[in-house]
Structure 1
Amino acid sequence: MRKTTSMALAATLAATAALALWGAPTFAQTDEETQRGLERFRQMLREDPWANPALLDADRGEDLWREARGPNGVSLETCDLGLGPGVVDGAFAQLPRYFEDAGRVMDAETRILWCMETIQGIDTAAFLARPHPGGGAPVKEVGAIATFVANRSEGMDFAPRLDDEPGREMVALGEALFNRRSGPFDFSCATCHAESGQRIRLQELPHLSDPEEAQAVVGEWPAYRISSTHVMTMQHRMYDCYWQMRMPQLLFGSEASVALIAFLVDRAEGGAIAAPGIKR
């Protein structure tokens, strides 16, 4: 367990660095120079193991994982994330996967929520009605636990268990959704993420259907978003992308959300996990 005081100090230092970056005198510069400056700032945070505020949420997630909660008064330490009850180390690296007890393919967050319902007896209706944090608000409990679980696979390579029939079907659905144009803007995920070198404002957009580029970025989620000062999970990332395309709301843990994640992780297979990451 990391020391909260040390992490709080690190978070303060990270915030100070951000203010220094944004509060410095402004001079005319190219988009490329601005992007290089942002990347230098993110790199400084990555290089300091205590500078990522998301590690506070990983600690909180570990506490929630071990805490006896809900009507059943038990912890999640009997939750099977795919490697056996209570095994966390390396589990995230092999997700999404098909779970026979649930009868469906699940990503980390969907599985954690299922365990909270079935093991702890927690009513998750309120969470599902509003599963993601607003700007400046801390990540919700499921996201904190997912950050802890992802962090325990840091440095490992993605090896999702998607080679069975349910897994292949889920990846195929995710690919279809990724490329399907719809909504009022006639957008798809591929509109922004099926070509290298594209950007929105200062944000470079990875070519996510290309395995090499997917391997470089997918393993960084969950990630701390500097712009919104909270952890954003992969389920939240999918939801937010649909919102930006003005598509119908993507429900947490829905077949569509898991399929998109399965497709992206399948493309990122073999890439290193570096979660929680740090994003703009």
Structure 2
Amino acid sequence: MKQRLSSKKKAALAGITMPVLMLLAGNAAQAQADSVTQEGNAYLQMMNEMGGNPADFNIDDGKKLWSEKAGPKHASLEQCDLGLGPGVVKGAYAQLPRYFADTGRVQDLESRLVTCMETLQGLTPMQADKDHFAKEGGNASPLENIAMYVAHESDGMKIAIPQGTPQERLAYENGKKLFFYRAGPFSFSCAACHSESAKRIKISALPNLTNAEAAGSYATWPAYPNSQGVARTLEWRMLACERQQRWPAPKFTSNAVMDLIEYMGVNSNGATLHTPTFKR
């Protein structure tokens, strides 16, 4: 006759079996998620290798706007100093953010473009950065188009963000502090997602932005995120990250945004820029 297991033995077996089943289920889910992530990465790689990015139209529009006379002074941006001298566009984005003596600030591309719109074209600050971010699925703003054009002029070049002034070094240190600063209702920081390698949220790989791995993200902006249906810049990406952390939305071209970009950019020095790219 078959012997029935005692309740104690059943409990003991259950105590062994359940963790094993949970482990197997967890491993299967992990393998499935890894597979989906790899497929997504392969898709983006294929899209980027094929060429023909919708952001190419933004670049063309930005090139026209760069030389178009506008504002009360009826002037173009062709004499805008982006750090390499008035009117020099080629390679300028690869060396931004950087310190500018005329403003006394470390500035990224959009911040510097706003300065040039104010000084060269006579626009007010409110006019210069009006509608600086396009709505999801909408059309890029003139400022975004110009930024796309200028950034593309550094495509294929090495990132070389300077750290030669006290202001630039301070921006990097402030960016580092802000990167690890926890705040908001969930006590989130940038580091919560981006301070370790091989991490992921759902199917999205999370680059480690505290070291040279940062280039995997930083060097591929501006970009065209398929989920947005419109070209986006790195300033927009900073806003999106802070929104996901449930932080208050930072002001456009604020020092906080500038410092975070400085931190990521310097960590990416030496990498090659590829812009525009496709993103999820």
TM-score for both structures, normalised by structure 1:
0.86
Which of structure 1's runs of 4+ aligned residues deviate more than 4 A? 126-130
Inter-partner Cα distance in structure 2 for 1:246 and 1:233: 20
Counterpart for residue 20 of structure 2: none
Q: 1:197 Cα deviation (Å)?
A: 1.5
Q: Is the 8 A contact 2:221 2:276 kept in 1?
A: yes
Inter-partner Cα distance in structure 2 for 1:254 and 1:228: 23
SS in structure 2 opposite 1:232?
Answer: coil
Counterpart for residue 150 of structure 1: 151
Q: Is the 8 A contact 2:129 2:143 kept in 1?
A: no
Counterpart for residue 109 of structure 1: 110
Inter-partner Cα distance in structure 1 for 2:179 and 2:240: 14
Counterpart for residue 252 of structure 2: 252
Change (3 A) 1:37 1:136: same
Counterpart for residue 37 of structure 2: 35
Cα displacement string for residues 130-185 of structure 1 (whole angstroms, at most 9, x for unaligned residues) = 42122101222212111111111111110012221010000011000000001111
Cα displacement string for residues 52-78 of structure 1 (whole angstroms, at most 9, x for unaligned residues) = 111111111111111111111110000
Counterpart for residue 137 of structure 1: 138
> In terms of mean alpha carbon deviation, does 34-43 or 111-120 score higher?
34-43
Cα displacement string for residues 178-223 of structure 1 (whole angstroms, at most 9, x for unaligned residues) = 0000111100000000011111121110000121x11222110111
Listed as ranges, the matches of 1:60-71 within 5 Å are 60-71=61-72
Q: Is the 8 A contact 1:131 1:140 kept in 2?
A: yes
Counterpart for residue 223 of structure 2: 223
Inter-partner Cα distance in structure 2 for 1:141 and 1:128: 9
RMSD: 1.4
> In terms of mean alpha carbon deviation, does 194-203 or 83-92 score higher?
194-203
Change (3 A) 1:91 1:128: closer
Cα displacement string for residues 74-129 of structure 1 (whole angstroms, at most 9, x for unaligned residues) = 10000000111110001111111101111111011110111111111123415646
Q: Percent identity among equivalent residues?
A: 40
Counterpart for residue 179 of structure 1: 180
- AA matched with 2:180: N
SS in structure 1 opposite 2:205?
Answer: strand
> In terms of mean alpha carbon deviation, does 130-139 or 143-152 score higher?
130-139
Count of residue pairs brought into register by the alignment: 250
- AA matched with 2:118: E
Inter-partner Cα distance in structure 2 for 1:130 and 1:42: 29
Q: 1:45 Cα deviation (Å)?
A: 1.8
- AA matched with 2:238: M
Cα displacement string for residues 1-26 of structure 1 (whole angstroms, at most 9, x for unaligned residues) = xxxxxxxxxxxxxxxxxxxxxxxxxx
| Unaligned runs of at least 5 residues, structure 1 | 1-28
Inter-partner Cα distance in structure 2 for 1:162 and 1:58: 29
Q: Which one has a bigger Cα radius of gyration? A: 2
| Unaligned runs of at least 5 residues, structure 2 | 1-30
Inter-partner Cα distance in structure 1 for 2:187 and 2:226: 30
Counterpart for residue 238 of structure 1: 238
Q: Is the 8 A contact 2:59 2:149 kept in 1?
A: yes
Inter-partner Cα distance in structure 1 for 2:192 and 2:129: 28
Q: Is the 8 A contact 1:57 1:139 kept in 2?
A: yes
Inter-partner Cα distance in structure 1 for 2:218 and 2:130: 26
Q: Is the 8 A contact 1:171 1:262 kept in 2?
A: yes
- AA matched with 1:277: T
Change (3 A) 1:130 1:243: farther
Inter-partner Cα distance in structure 2 for 1:47 and 1:141: 27
